[in-house]
C-alpha cells in the first residue's frame, strides 16, 4: 500500500535502458492492428522497478523497526539484568523514648484501673436493675373473671409500732395510724393503691354510688389527696374490694358523713361520723338486687367477711335476719334497707385476706 501523502517516481532501469536489442531495433510494422496486438502479446515483457520516495518517512520508521525486531532480541532484553538503582537514604533513627518516671507510671496505672472499675460497676448495676421485675401481679380477683391489679407500696414506719399488712401476696409494712386514721394530712401508699383499684371498678361500672354520692371520697385517695373530713378507713376499702371479688356489681350508699354533711341515725356517734368519719360502709346493692341486711345476698356477704374482719367489727341489721353463728362480727340493730359494716371498735388494722 502506498501512502496517499507520498509521491511515486517511476524510472527505467539505468543499466538496461536503451542498451538492449529491443531498444535499439527500429520499430516493426504490422499489416494489421490485429497482428500488432498479437505480436505485442507474444513479446517478452520488460521488468520495471518502481521506486517510492515517501515524504513522511520519519513517522513510520520507529513502528517498522519495532515490528521488524526479532523475538529473540525481546527475550534477551528481558533476561538482561536491570541497572541497580542507587540505594535510598536510610531514615534517621528515631530518638529513644524518654523513660516515664516510676511514680508517674504507677499513677497512670491506678487511674486506668479506677476508670475500668467504675465502668464495670455501672454496667453491673444497669443489667442487675433491668433483670428485676417491674411490677407485681396477682391472680384472678372477682367471680366475674376480672383481673385485679396489685401496686407496689412503699414501706412506712411511724408511731413506734409497725404492723405487717398482707395484701395480694405482698407483705407491706405500714403504721396502723396511717391505715386506720381518716384525719391524716397525707395519704398512705397502701390506701392510695387500693383506692386506685376501686376506681378501676367504678370506671367499668362494677362499683356504683347513691345519693349523696360517696364515690368521690375514694377518688380523692386514688389521686393522693388527703381532703379534710373526707378520709376513708383502709378496712372499709378492703371490705368493698372483697365484695367486688365475689359479686359482679356492688352499690354503696354511705361512707364518711362528714364529707357530705349528713347526720343520721346514730348521729355524731356513728362510725360514719365519729373520729374523723369514714370508718363504716353501707352496702345497698349486690348484682342489681337491693339489700335488706337479711336477704340471701346480704347473708352471703356476711359469711364471706366474718372470717376476714378483725374481732369486734360492727354488723348492723341484726333484727332483719335470722340468727347467725358469727366469729368476729358484733351485730346490732339498724334499719332494714341496707347492710351496715363498721370498724370503729375493731382490734386489727386490716382484714385477713390476700
Share of the chain above pLDDT 90, in %: 45
pLDDT of residue 28 exceeding 80, the answer is no
Position 311 scores a pLDDT of 96
329 and 271 in contact (C-beta within 8 Å)? no
Cα separation, 257 vs 212, whole angstroms: 9
268 and 162 in contact (C-beta within 8 Å)? no
pLDDT of residue 347 exceeding 80, the answer is yes
Position 293 scores a pLDDT of 97
Structural Rg of the chain based on CA atoms: 60
Residue 68, class by beta-carbon neighbours within 10 Å (0-12 exposed, 13-18 middle, 19+ buried)? exposed
Cα separation, 93 vs 103, whole angstroms: 29
Position 167 scores a pLDDT of 47
Helix boundaries (H) for 185-278:
189-203, 215-222, 234-246, 257-260
Q: What is the pLDDT of residues 79-112, one digit of tens each?
A: 555 655 555 555 555 555 555 566 666 677 777 7
Q: What is the pLDDT of residues 289-322, one digit of tens each?
A: 999 999 999 999 999 999 999 999 999 999 999 9
User: Hey, is 288 helix, strand or coil?
Assistant: coil
Position 157 scores a pLDDT of 31
Q: Is 339 or 159 the better-scoring residue by pLDDT?
A: 339
Residues 6+ apart with CB under 8 A from 184: 177, 178, 226, 231
Cα separation, 215 vs 279, whole angstroms: 15
Terminal alpha carbon distance of the chain: 115
**pLDDT band (50, 70, 90) for residue 122:** confident
Position 307 scores a pLDDT of 97
Q: Whole-model pTM? A: 0.54
**CA nearest to 244, candidates 287, 274, 209:** 287
pLDDT of residue 236 exceeding 60, the answer is yes
Q: What is the pLDDT of residues 160-196, one digit of tens each?
A: 334 444 444 444 556 776 787 888 999 999 999 999 9
Residues 6+ apart with CB under 8 A from 245: 141, 142, 143, 148
Least confident segment among 93-97, 168-172, 235-239, 327-331: 168-172
Position 164 scores a pLDDT of 44
Question: pLDDT averaged over the chain?
Answer: 76
Residues 6+ apart with CB under 8 A from 239: 281, 305, 309, 341, 351
**pLDDT band (50, 70, 90) for residue 154:** very low
Residues 6+ apart with CB under 8 A from 276: 181, 182, 183, 229, 231, 258
Position 31 scores a pLDDT of 79
Does 329 sit behind a cis peptide bond, omega within 30 degrees of 0 on the bond before it?
no
pLDDT of residue 343 exceeding 90, the answer is yes
Q: Is 173 or 242 the better-scoring residue by pLDDT?
A: 242
Cα separation, 7 vs 308, whole angstroms: 132
342 and 313 in contact (C-beta within 8 Å)? yes
Amino acid at each position: 500500500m502506498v501512502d496517499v501523502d507520498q509521491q511515486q517516481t517511476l524510472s527505467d532501469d539505468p543499466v538496461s535502458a536503451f542498451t538492449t536489442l529491443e531498444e535499439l531495433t527500429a520499430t516493426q510494422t504490422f499489416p494489421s492492428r490485429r497482428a500488432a496486438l498479437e505480436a505485442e502479446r507474444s513479446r517478452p515483457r520488460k521488468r520495471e522497478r518502481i521506486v517510492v520516495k515517501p515524504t513522511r518517512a520519519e513517522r513510520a520508521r520507529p513502528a517498522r523497526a519495532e515490528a521488524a525486531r526479532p523475538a529473540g532480541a525481546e527475550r534477551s532484553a528481558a533476561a538482561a539484568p536491570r541497572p541497580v538503582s542507587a540505594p535510598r537514604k536510610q531514615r534517621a533513627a528515631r530518638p529513644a523514648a524518654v523513660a516515664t518516671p516510676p511514680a508517674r507510671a504507677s499513677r497512670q496505672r491506678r487511674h486506668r484501673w479506677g476508670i475500668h472499675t467504675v465502668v464495670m460497676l455501672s454496667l453491673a448495676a444497669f443489667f442487675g436493675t433491668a433483670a428485676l421485675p417491674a411490677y407485681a401481679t396477682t391472680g384472678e380477683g372477682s367471680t366475674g373473671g376480672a383481673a385485679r391489679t396489685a401496686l407496689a407500696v412503699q414501706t412506712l414506719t411511724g408511731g413506734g409500732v409497725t404492723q405487717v399488712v398482707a395484701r395480694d401476696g405482698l407483705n407491706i409494712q405500714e403504721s396502723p395510724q396511717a391505715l386506720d386514721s381518716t384525719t391524716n394530712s397525707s395519704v398512705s401508699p397502701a390506701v392510695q393503691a387500693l383506692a386506685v383499684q376501686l376506681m378501676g371498678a367504678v370506671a367499668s361500672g362494677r362499683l356504683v354510688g347513691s345519693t349523696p354520692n360517696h364515690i368521690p371520697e375514694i377518688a380523692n385517695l386514688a389521686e393522693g389527696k388527703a381532703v379534710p373530713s373526707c378520709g376513708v378507713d383502709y378496712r372499709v376499702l378492703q371490705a368493698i374490694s372483697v365484695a367486688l371479688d365475689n359479686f359482679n356489681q356492688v352499690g354503696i350508699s354511705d361512707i364518711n358523713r362528714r364529707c357530705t354533711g349528713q347526720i343520721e341515725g346514730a348521729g355524731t356517734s356513728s362510725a360514719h361520723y365519729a373520729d374523723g368519719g369514714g370508718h363504716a360502709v353501707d352496702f345497698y346493692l349486690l348484682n342489681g338486687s337491693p339489700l335488706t341486711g337479711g336477704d340471701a345476698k346480704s347473708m352471703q356477704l356476711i359469711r364471706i367477711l366474718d372470717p376476714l374482719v378483725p374481732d369486734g367489727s360492727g354488723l348492723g341489721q341484726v333484727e332483719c335476719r335470722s340468727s347467725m353463728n358469727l366469729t368476729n362480727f358484733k351485730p346490732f340493730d339498724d334499719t332494714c334497707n341496707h347492710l351496715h359494716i363498721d370498724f370503729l371498735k375493731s382490734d386489727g388494722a386490716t382484714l385477713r385476706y390476700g
